[in-house]
Amino acid sequence: MVLCECFARDGLQHEARFVATAVKIEAIERFAGLGFARVEATSYAHPKHVPQFADADAVLAGIARRAGVRYKATCVNLRALERALDAAAAGRGPSEVSVLVSASESHTRRNLNRSREEQWRIVEEMVAAAAQRFVLIGTISVALGCPFEGRVDPACVAAAARRLGALGVRHIAIGDTTGMGNPRSVAQLFRRLRDEVPGMTWIAHFHDTRGTAIANCIAAYEAGVRHFDSAFGGVGGHPTNIQYGEGYTGNVCTEDLATVFEAMGVSTGLDMSRLLETAAFCEAALGRPLRSMVARSGLGLAEAAHV
């Protein structure tokens, strides 16, 4: 399985305090050193909208690259992608960029302030411009439920995946943006996607809004998914959650997820002997206790496999 560590981007996106560039760089280098084959490094969001990523260029220029590791940057629009392309031309770009569509019309309007069709036209332009240079990650958000519309028809998710596939995208992240999935809906959706949209690498990007993210990741794994996004300390809650009564909870917690997979006998590729040290670094970086359970309780039976 392949874990993508999202602490430095999805984790920090809504963090009120600016995290120093040097700390972000050290975090990303630690993640790569720990064994993550994919690390979400930053976002080319406009600094006016997301000041946390005003240092996107500096972060990507500053990290010592590790062979075999892919560094991801999210791109919200064509202007963002142009920055990624400029950085790549200078040899300091990301290796992956993600493009975003939403499975529901209301979420697209509330989150991106445009219609789904408008967003698709932007995505089409971005994919055309980026395809030769980057690994493209198509992200479908609110795929397991929408805070505004409730249930999301799996057929809509499959249609969005097919449309991304038609553009040439081969990696698709399925976002449970506000934790509305459950193990059964997750298994059903991924089985359907596997059957209806062949040839894709599926990535589970799950949030823990209702305490189900670990159960949902395991259901995805049992349904054949081998790529997972997670963030140390379970950071990364989206303010949409609070704004619309959905609580404030972030990505599935890396250290808890890795620990249960290792206990199950599924290798994460991570150096588990340094997992909690990295968790402690992330807590120190944000200056507060984060939401990991194993950071308090230890690795349990996952430890035995690594001593």
Among 170, 242, 265, 174, smallest CA distance to 213 is for: 174
Least separation in angstroms between residue 165's CB and a copy of itself is 27
Least separation in angstroms between residue 184's CB and a copy of itself is 5
Least separation in angstroms between residue 192's CB and a copy of itself is 17
Residues near a copy of itself (CB under 8 A): 145, 150-151, 178-180, 182-185, 208-212, 214-215, 218-219, 241, 245-249, 253, 256, 259-260, 263-265, 292-294, 296-298, 300-301, 304
Q: Which is nearer to a copy of itself, 55 or 176 (CB)?
A: 176
* 3-state SS assignment for residue 107: helix
Q: Which is nearer to a copy of itself, 47 or 298 (CB)?
A: 298
- Which tokens hold the place of 276? 């909690």
Least separation in angstroms between residue 28's CB and a copy of itself is 25
Q: Which is nearer to a copy of itself, 94 or 237 (CB)?
A: 237
- For 278, other C-beta atoms within 10 Å of its C-beta total 23
Task: Return d(Cα 86, Cα 75) in angstroms, integer.
Answer: 13
> Which residue has tokens 């760089």?
25
Q: Which is nearer to a copy of itself, 52 or 241 (CB)?
A: 241
Q: Which is nearer to a copy of itself, 239 or 300 (CB)?
A: 300
- Which tokens hold the place of 2? 């392949």
- How far separated are the first and last CA of the chain, in Å rounded? 21
Among 170, 279, 182, 267, smallest CA distance to 226 is for: 267
> Which residue has tokens 């120190």?
284
Pair 37, 68: CB distance under 8 Å: yes
- Which tokens hold the place of 63? 């990290």
Residue 295's region, left for phi above 0, alpha for psi from -120 to 50, else beta, is alpha
Least separation in angstroms between residue 304's CB and a copy of itself is 6
Q: Where are the beta strands (DSSP E) in the chain?
A: 2-5, 38-43, 70-74, 96-102, 135-141, 171-176, 201-206, 227-230
Least separation in angstroms between residue 142's CB and a copy of itself is 12
Q: Which is nearer to a copy of itself, 136 or 218 (CB)?
A: 218
Q: How far out from the chain centre does Cα 290 lie?
A: 18
Q: Which is nearer to a copy of itself, 49 or 184 (CB)?
A: 184
- Which tokens hold the place of 195? 């059957």
Least separation in angstroms between residue 301's CB and a copy of itself is 5
Q: Which is nearer to a copy of itself, 126 or 217 (CB)?
A: 217
Least separation in angstroms between residue 242's CB and a copy of itself is 9
DSSP 224-252: T--EEEEBGGG----HHHHHTT-----BP
* 3-state SS assignment for residue 36: coil
